[in-house]
Amino acid sequence: MAANGADGSTEAQFKNVLKLPASKPQTLEGYQNLIDKLNNVENVTLKLANKMFIGKDFPIKPEYKQDLETYYKSGIQSVDFSKSQEAANTINTWCKEQTNDRIKNIINEGDVNDATALVLANAVYFKGLWAHQFDPKATTDRPFHIDANTVKDVPTMYRKGNYKYVELPEYDAKCIELPYANKEVSMVIILPNKIDGLAALIDKLEEVNAECSSRLTQIYEREVKVYLPRFRSETKLDLKDTLSNKMGLSEAFSNKANFNGISNVPLKIDKVVQKAFIEVNEEGSEAAAVTEVELVNYSLIVNQTKEIHIDHPFLYGIIKSKREEEFYVLLFAGYVL
């Protein structure tokens, strides 16, 4: 939503970093199509929502408001940011409603003040049952190697069934796809072969993800014994440094920022905060994420049975795909340590 209001060299940086199409109408129509696809997935609960909280009396261009309502399905709400506690409560209440109470607050009272022009919020909520659930009776405490020297017993699920399973010797890793009841949605787990191999995978994350995804589309299911720990994770990330210094989106955070598509009043991004929740158990997974962008004025077949023991740090992702349309969206991603 922020990228849609950018202009000039700020817009160019957004397009380069986020790999957006050259044409703004193509970007808008693509996002509208994405929201429509994600909000109409059967057999799982999947909801994507956007909202703009605008400072009282702050002048927003009507064309930008129209784009948010039409293409991003975004509601727009006026907020008095000088009343910081009330403003934070309003934004956090919206977050709770969109994530089924899993994310209760994305913003604190001290994060907004009378210099805040607007807050752009994005929420994704997912809850899905496995296509083949794990039997809770088979769950037992098993060792999980936190690192080469530390082992902890954790509740570990077990199931023998047919799954897409791939070994990636060139990355010293393996991956498996666990489908949900709607088989267009699945969890992909990438497990390094070595207990301390996660850092090496993360260094080549884009490459590893691409290879794993490509290989999974080319194979049939095979019988696999899966040992997967139950896990639950809650994280809050400040993405300003990552976006600005590591990914190259620096101008949007500086006084050179050009958001003339939003307002004639000079704006820059002050904060980008993401809070995420995920829980994986015998029945399936529940996940939620909220990203908040704050702008202030300045004056994203083999027969042999295989075994995969997910007993040390690993990567996971929840994906929505429709292979006949080459449609692929990474909904949630993270790692377990």
**289-49-119 Cα angle (round to 5):** 80
Quick one: 136-230+300-336 is in which CATH superfamily?
A: Alpha-1-antitrypsin, domain 1 (2.30.39.10)
User: In angstroms, rounded to a whole number, what is the distance separating the alpha carbons of residues 77 and 92?
Assistant: 13
Residue 222: C-alpha distances to residues 102, 129, 161, 301, 317 (Å) = 35, 21, 8, 6, 21
Residue 324 has pLDDT above 90, yes or no: no
- pTM of the full structure: 0.86
pLDDT given for residue 300 in this prediction: 38
* Count of C-beta atoms within a 10 Å radius of residue 234: 12
pLDDT given for residue 323 in this prediction: 61
- Name which of 200, 179, 189 is nearest 308 in CA terms: 189
User: In angstroms, rounded to a whole number, what is the distance separating the alpha carbons of residues 299 and 230?
Assistant: 50
Question: What mean pLDDT value characterizes the chain?
Answer: 91
Enumerate the domain spans of the chain.
Answer: 2-128+232-279, 136-230+300-336
Residue 275 carries which side chain, given as an amino acid letter? K
Mean pLDDT, residues 257-267 taken together:
93
Quick one: 2-128+232-279 is in which CATH superfamily?
A: Antithrombin, subunit I, domain 2 (3.30.497.10)
Q: What sign does the CA torsion over 93, 235, 144, 211 have? A: positive
What is the total residue count of the chain?
337
Q: Where are the alpha helices (DSSP H) in 249-333?
A: none
pLDDT given for residue 299 in this prediction: 57
